[in-house]
Amino acid sequence: MQIKTLNLSHTFDKGLQNEFEALNDVSLFVDQGEFITIIGETGSGKTTFIEHLNGLLRPSSGKVEIYSQEIARKMKKNRKLIKKNLKIPKLAMSISPGNKKLKEIKLIRKQVGIVFQFAEYQLFEETILKDIIFGPTTMGTPKEEAIELAKKYIKLVGMSEKFLERSPFALSGGQKRRVALAGILAMEPDILIFDEPTAGLDPQGEKDMYKIFHKLHNMGKTIIIVTHNMDLVLEHSNRTVVFKNGTIIRDDNSIDIMYDENFLLNNDLKIPKIVDLVIRLNKKGKKINKPKNINELVEEI
């Protein structure tokens, strides 16, 4: 599955006194299987952007194109266009200002899952099982199949089936976040988007969460993470997209952006701790390449 945004713009409260342009002419292509981080200072448009990727927000101008064999097959108007065993994704649908009543929006949201910051606050059922199967059953998955998916994904997020009959409100904050993630995974999306997924977690919780992300990535999922944590960007992502004032100012290899000291400082972004240390060591005559984590730094030294 692929997503493309073309000249995407979004204005809140258009025509009113407090009109605000959150996105301006944003074009981006996300291919299947990428691991991308999106960074930028607060108010730069990051969250507004990702909310367009599964139709939670509709653009004021421009469009979002969804390329997916599975979605296209399920849409009557495209069935005749899809050939069996065709590997190249077909344009399934386009989200633009002119098509505000997309009947197929559930298909998009099943394939493009968004996990918002403090997702554990969205838990509401009396048992973990009911919370996890709520999404897939709402999307049309038979209950028995949804229960099997709940068993599968509660294990994937590092918890046993025994938790399924427990109340989600009796869990720790980190466990609640895993349950919320399992609920999204049970809908089996191709693309997973996380908005500040490690906010409020301790260092071990951060490591555990990113282990899950890499496990999902290794399964072929596309991972998009919005974060302010530059250390995690450096260590985990391959590609980074930088937003500022509602537009993309850089789209590059994560390691190249994280080691561009002047770029980070000029755009009010923190320098990763390892990068700061490497810069100091290089100034003292050491010749160190670009380690992504502490283990690589130790090898360099």
Task: Return the closest-CA partner of residue 183 out of 221, 114, 131.
Answer: 131
C-alpha angle 231-234-239 in degrees, rounded to nearest 5 = 140
Ranges assigned E (strand) in 145-266: 191-195, 222-226, 239-244, 247-253
Mean confidence (pLDDT) of the chain: 89
Which range is least confidently modeled, 105-114, 135-144, 153-162? 105-114
Domain map (residue ranges) of the chain: 271-301
Query: What one-letter code names the amino acid at 54?
Result: N
Mean pLDDT of the region 105-128: 84
Supply 139's token pair.
């999307």
Looking at residue 83, its pLDDT comes to 45
Is it the case that residue 29 has pLDDT exceeding 70?
yes
How many Å apart are CA 34 and CA 37, to the nearest integer? 10
What pLDDT is stored for residue 74 in this prediction? 66
pLDDT tens digits, residue range 175-186?
Answer: 888 999 999 999
Q: What is the pLDDT averaged over residues 273-283?
A: 92
Res. 82: pLDDT tops 60: no
Residue 9's DSSP bridge partners are: 61
DSSP 245: T
User: Above 60 in pLDDT, residue 77?
Assistant: no
pLDDT tens profile 212-229? 999 999 999 999 999 999
Report the chain's terminal Cα–Cα distance, integer Å.
Answer: 41
Say whether 157 sits in a helix, a strand or coil.
Answer: coil
Q: Report the pLDDT value the prediction gives residue 288, as an integer from 0 to 100.
A: 85
pLDDT in tens, 42-76: 999 999 999 999 999 999 999 999 888 767 666 65
Stretch 135-144: mean pLDDT:
91
Q: How far apart are CA 84 and CA 154, in angstroms?
A: 33
> Which run of H or E residues covers position 5?
strand 2-12
pLDDT of residue 89: 65
At 140, the pLDDT band (50, 70, 90 cuts) reads confident
Provide the pLDDT for residue 231: 96
